[in-house]
């Protein structure tokens, strides 16, 4: 695993938006941002739920979706800093984030990360797996974001479409990991 290292004597970067933790209640996302909600069934039963939850919280889902993840911990916990990057070679774009909240509950596992300075967007995104009463395992991505860099402002409506495509890819990837 690639790890980030931090000098503990230096202050850690701050989040770039004020509505920290808003993805915990996805019914009331803050105004002034693009909202993303994507949900997919990824399996059935307790074993599928546990497998999916582990894949989400250990960065395995992101990595299996061809994202590079560098984190200062092996598992999502509040305060963990990470950089997720997509692309190849000189076209790889890395985005710094910090885990805001986690859920390690009987029927709900997941986390949210928020953007740090240097991220092309400003906002928060959560990745949650839930075991429904009928045994269905559902994966949900919830996000709110707005451009924070000139190139994301220039791209306009293309960015939300790319974000939704990535959320769908994560759902398909997680479903495959659960089947394996």
Instruction: Note the pLDDT tens digit of each residue in 108-158.
Output: 999 999 999 988 899 999 999 999 999 999 999 999 999 888 888 888 888
Specify the length of the chain in residues: 180
Percent of the chain residues past pLDDT 90, beyond the cut:
72
Which tokens hold the place of 39?
Answer: 């949900």
Whole-angstrom Cα distance, residue 6 to residue 22? 27
Residue 113 exposed, middle or buried by CB count within 10 Å (0-12, 13-18, 19+):
buried
Residue 31 exposed, middle or buried by CB count within 10 Å (0-12, 13-18, 19+):
exposed
Residue 100 per-residue DSSP state: E
Show the 3-state SS of 31-92.
CCCEEEEEEEEEEECHHHHHHHHHHHHCCHHHHHCCCEEEECCCCCCCCCEEEEEECCHHHC
Exposure class string for 51-74: b at 16+ Cβ within 10 A, else e: bbbebbbbbbbbbbbebbbbbbbe
pLDDT the model gives residue 17: 92
Read off φ and ψ for residue 151, nearest 5 degrees.
-75, -30
160-174 mean pLDDT: 95
Its CATH class, for the domain covering 32-179, is alpha beta
Residue among 75, 135, 134, 147 nearest 110 (CA): 75
Residue 86 has pLDDT above 60, yes or no: yes
Residue 52 has pLDDT above 50, yes or no: yes
Give the domain ranges of the chain: 32-179
Residue 29 per-residue DSSP state: P
Binned at pLDDT 50, 70 and 90, residue 85 comes out as confident
pLDDT the model gives residue 36: 95
Please give the model's pTM, rounded to 2 decimal places: 0.89
pLDDT the model gives residue 12: 60
């Amino acid at each position: 695993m690639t790890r980030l290292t931090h000098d503990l004597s230096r202050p850690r970067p701050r989040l770039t938006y004020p509505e920290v933790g808003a993805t915990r209640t996805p019914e009331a996302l803050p105004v002034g941002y693009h909202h993303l909600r994507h949900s997919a069934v990824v399996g059935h039963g307790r074993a599928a739920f546990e497998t999916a939850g582990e894949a989400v919280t250990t960065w395995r889902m992101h990595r299996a979706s061809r994202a590079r993840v560098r984190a200062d911990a092996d598992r999502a916990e509040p305060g963990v800093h990470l950089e997720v990057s997509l692309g190849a070679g000189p076209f790889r774009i890395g985005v710094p984030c910090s885990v805001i909240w986690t859920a390690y509950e009987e029927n709900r596992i997941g986390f949210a990360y928020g953007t740090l300075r240097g991220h092309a967007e400003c906002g928060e995104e959560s990745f949650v797996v839930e075991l429904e009463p009928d045994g269905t395992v559902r994966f949900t991505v919830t996000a709110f974001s707005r451009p924070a860099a000139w190139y994301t402002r220039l791209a306009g409506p293309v960015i939300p479409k790319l974000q939704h495509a990535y959320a769908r890819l994560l759902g398909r990837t997680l479903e495959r990991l659960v089947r394996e």
